[in-house]
């Protein structure tokens, strides 16, 4: 979730509102940061979350989003220098699509301030009401299946192309078979890369899920009865997802494509 405000004061009021909603169990805030943009369109992080800094499993997701919006150059928190680099700067790590990034970029212009947060919420009203009181503009994206759906489509498309070429190769004259095989080999290489990327992302999601459950358990131990019940339900939801982890998705573990020449 990104909430864009007209000024710095309202952004920090927004953070306090999220913290209050978290304390009462209405939502769970997993990671958050207050950011702004300078005149060179670089995102500056003014405040990083205490529990999940941007370098952690959960924080890396919003760190990736911040990077897509205009980082890491311009990061204003010294402790973050050098921590938001490498492979996290992509849509897969952020768990959003390019349209969401574009929508946020249009709203987060120089002079505006924003909260970038990874939250769990059963319904949107509590956050909507509190942010509306501060004239905040909310942009949301469901992180859970964005990358999975995109990768599944891409893998299916590559496999369809390979199947088509194999059918063509089976009917081709001897002199053309090698050329078609070269195309098949290239597609198999691309497919292998996609599957390895997806497996890595699945591993990252499991690590992130575990980190969130651990943090929620600590919150539940300190929470009052009503808030504790809400937090426990979120823990159960995460544990259910963990047990149905991406490592079990069929498209991630299909049999290898036959790479031999058709006879």
**205 three-class SS:** helix
What percentage of the chain exceeds 90 in pLDDT? 47
Cis bond leading into 90, ω under 30°? no
pLDDT, mean over the chain: 81
Residue 260 has pLDDT above 60, yes or no: no
Write the CB contacts of 142 (distance below 8 Å, at least 6 apart in sequence): none
Which pLDDT band, with edges at 50, 70 and 90, does 97 fall under?
Answer: confident
Residue 80 has pLDDT above 70, yes or no: no
- From the list 76, 75, 65, 33, the residue with the least C-alpha distance to 51 is 33
**How confident is the model at residue 72, as a pLDDT?**
46
Write the CB contacts of 7 (distance below 8 Å, at least 6 apart in sequence): 113
C-beta separation of 37 from 110 below 8 A = yes
Which pLDDT band, with edges at 50, 70 and 90, does 252 fall under?
Answer: low
- From the list 260, 251, 263, 261, the residue with the least C-alpha distance to 159 is 251
Rg (CA), the chain: 22
C-beta separation of 121 from 26 below 8 A = yes
What is the Cβ-side half-sphere exposure of residue 100, based on CA atoms within 13 angstroms? 22
- From the list 142, 145, 256, the residue with the least C-alpha distance to 195 is 256
**How confident is the model at residue 228, as a pLDDT?**
94
Residue 36 has pLDDT above 50, yes or no: yes
Rounded mean pLDDT, 83-92: 48
DSSP 137-185: EEE----TTHHHHHHHHHHHHHHHHHHHHHHHHHHS-HHHHHHHHHHHH
Which pLDDT band, with edges at 50, 70 and 90, does 54 fall under?
Answer: low
Give the Cα separation of 209 and 188 in Å (integer): 31
Residue 119 has pLDDT above 80, yes or no: yes
The pTM of this model reads 0.73
Strands of the chain, DSSP E: 2-5, 27-37, 43-48, 113-121, 137-139
């Amino acid at each position: 979730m990104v909430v864009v405000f007209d000024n710095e004061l309202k952004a920090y009021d927004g953070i306090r509102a999220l913290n209050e909603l978290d304390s009462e169990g209405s939502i769970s805030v997993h990671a958050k940061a207050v950011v702004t943009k300078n005149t060179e369109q670089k995102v500056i992080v003014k405040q990083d979350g205490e529990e999940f800094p941007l370098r952690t499993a959960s924080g890396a997701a919003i760190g990736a989003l911040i990077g897509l919006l205009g980082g890491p150059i311009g990061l204003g928190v010294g402790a973050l220098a050098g921590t938001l680099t490498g492979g996290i700067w992509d849509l897969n790590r952020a768990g959003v699509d390019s349209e969401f990034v574009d929508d946020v970029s249009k709203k987060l212009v120089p002079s505006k301030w924003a909260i970038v947060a990874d939250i769990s919420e059963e319904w949107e009203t509590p956050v909507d009401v509190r942010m509306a009181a501060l004239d905040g503009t909310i942009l949301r994206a469901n992180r859970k299946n964005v990358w999975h759906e995109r990768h599944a489509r891409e893998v299916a498309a590559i496999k369809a192309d390979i199947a088509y070429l194999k059918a063509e190769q089976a009917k081709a004259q001897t002199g053309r078979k090698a050329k078609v095989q070269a195309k098949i080999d290239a597609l198999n290489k691309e497919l292998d890369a996609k599957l390895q990327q997806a497996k890595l992302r699945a591993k990252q999601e499991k690590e992130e899920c575990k980190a969130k459950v651990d943090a929620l358990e600590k919150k539940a131990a300190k929470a009052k009865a009503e808030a504790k019940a809400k937090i426990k339900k979120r823990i159960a939801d995460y544990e259910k997802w963990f047990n149905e982890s991406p490592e079990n998705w069929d498209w991630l573990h299909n049999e290898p494509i036959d790479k031999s020449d058709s006879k």
